[in-house]
A and B are shown apart, each in its own frame.
Chain A
Amino acid sequence: MSAPLHVTLTVNGETLSRLIEPRETLADFLRRDLGLTGTHTGCEMGVCGACLVLLDGVPVHACLIFAVQAAGANIATVEGLTESAAVTDLQRAFHERNALQCGFCTPGMLIAAQGLLDRTPMPSRAEIRDALSGNYCRCTGYEAIVDAIETVARKRAAGEAAPRFAEEPA
């Protein structure tokens, strides 16, 4: 009785219905069924943070939720947050500060940062590092990421908006 179930959920603002095998994680569903490969899987057990998505507005591990559990939920991935320009300033700050190298952790970092700034608009550097305690990056050494998030916190506090990241020149 592990037949696929009809599941309706909202992903990046679009409500969709799919047949989903119960054992498929939300991460695999997003990546495989919807082609939203910006959500990465680095450990599949909730310790690396590469698969973070927003579920009803807060960061969660997409590898620690079966997609069927997300029925009725509202999911936002890095693709959707890019489209809606919600994390444009973070993307720009990461780019300017070179706060990414291989980029595999980056979508998770952006979502962790967004979650942090929603709760704590002006975090200290120690608070930023603490908020990233579940996000592993092997490349950068973290400092540039902390710098970028700190920059965005200041800019958001000052009410500075950023233009859409994707259309900005490199």
Chain B
Amino acid sequence: MVTNLDGNAAREFGALKARAFDYIRPATVAEALAAFAEAEGDASYIAGGQSLVPALALRLQAPARLIDIGHIAALRGIAVEDGWLRLGALTRHVEAHDHPLIAAHAPLLALAAPHVAHPAIRNRGTLGGSVALADPASEFPAMMLAMEAEIEIAGPAGTRRVPAETFFQDLYQTALEPGELLAALHIPVAQPEHRCAFDEIARRRGDYALVGCGIRLALPRDRVEEARIAFLAVGPTPMRARAAETALAGARLDADAIARAQAALAQDLDPPEDSEVPPAMRLHLSRVLLGRLLGRLRGQIAEAA
């Protein structure tokens, strides 16, 4: 431990081997919850581990127990039921990329998936893990907002469903209480009038984006009935751009409406202070990206007409 003379601890360098922990691999959700309770809070669930393992290696986190939920059958599966697409928490990123049900019913996930890290990460990382971590710069959490998803949470008192809107609370803070497990994602299936677009601006392929955006427009005829716009990397949580959505609602998707939506982003977004990427730059890039995505949708609509 390193301190200054006042006894204040400072950051340490050098660790890339995790502290010791014990490892449990439960077969059911109930066993997993019990294993967590038994550890008296000093435990972490691990699924794909693509974000957790580096944090453990750097000793930024050091739970006494790791509970591997990667083999719990109830957390798997991709199915459509009653107008909802249910994605088990263990659904891998690569499935968002490939699975026909996801392409058909949650196209924003399929559009975002190629931008998530790199192929080998996508082979292992899970959608549940990504949403539970709630990294504001990640693609999938923001898409939960754009798709009006609900998050199924399993806990000692049973399961509950929380709308994405209230799930993401603050930087890395979600509606998950200690010991609770993200069990599944429920996404209302895409409607025929939905038009979706996703893109992001990143310095290198697979990097955390400077800004990213997913859009779902309900556009039954020539006017936008409803717009859902979600941004990543522009605030402490995934961010919905409500003022921009309002600017589009009821409007034709023309240059004026797009410009109004772009202008409205100042009310919606709260980019973090960052010496490398100043807030004004993220806001600027958000406007550029929104304009390009809406322009792309406008082009698609014109082509279809």
Contacts and interface: CB of A to CB of B under 8 A. Distances in A.
Interface of A: 1-3, 5, 21-23, 25, 28, 44-46, 49, 52, 55, 58-61, 63-66, 68-69, 71, 112, 115-116, 129-131, 133-135
Given A49-B118, A58-B123, A65-B124, A133 B204 contact: yes
B119 A22 contact: no
Contact of A66 (B49, B118, B119): B49
B41 to A, nearest CB: 15
Name the residue in A25, A44, A46, A68 with the highest tally of chain B Cβ atoms < 10 Å from its Cβ. Answer: A46
14 contacts: A2-B21, A5-B23, A21-B20, A23-B56, A46-B50, A49-B120, A63-B57, A69-B68, A115-B119, A115-B123, A129-B205, A133-B119, A134-B119, A134-B120
B259 interface: no
Contacts of B64: 1
Contacts of A61: 50, 120-121, 124
Contacts, number: 99
B63 to A, nearest CB: 11
Given A44-B16, A59-B119, A134-B118, A65 B23 contact: no
Contact of A71 (B20, B25, B94): B25
A46 B56 CA distance: 13
B58 interface: yes
B279 interface: no
Contacts of B17: 23, 28
Given A45-B57, A64-B54, A69-B68, A59 B23 contact: no
Given A133-B204, A134-B121, A64 B20 contact: no
Given A46-B53, A133-B204, A52 B23 contact: no
A20 B17 CA distance: 15
B20 A112 contact: no
A76 to B, nearest CB: 14
A134 B21 contact: no
Leading 9 A-B pairs by shortest Cβ distance: A134-B118, A2-B20, A22-B23, A1-B22, A45-B54, A133-B205, A133-B206, A44-B16, A59-B120
By secondary structure, the A interface counts as: mixed
Contacts of B121: 46, 61, 64, 134
B159 to A, nearest CB: 25
A95 B3 CA distance: 52
Contacts of A25: 53, 57
A25 B58 CA distance: 13
Contacts of A68: 23, 25, 68
Contacts of A59: 119-120, 123
B50 A22 contact: no
Contacts of A69: 46, 49, 68, 70
B185 to A, nearest CB: 22
Contacts of A55: 123-124
B19 interface: yes
Contact of A44 (B50, B57, B123): B57
Interface string B23-34: 101000000000
A112 to B, nearest CB: 7
Interface in B29-83: 46, 49-50, 53-54, 56-58, 64-66, 68, 70
B117 interface: yes
Contact of B66 (A64, A66, A135): A66
Contacts of A44: 16, 54, 57
B297 interface: no
Nearest to B98: A119
Contacts of B257: none
Name the residue in B46, B58, B64, B205 with the highest tally of chain A Cβ atoms < 10 Å from its Cβ. Answer: B205
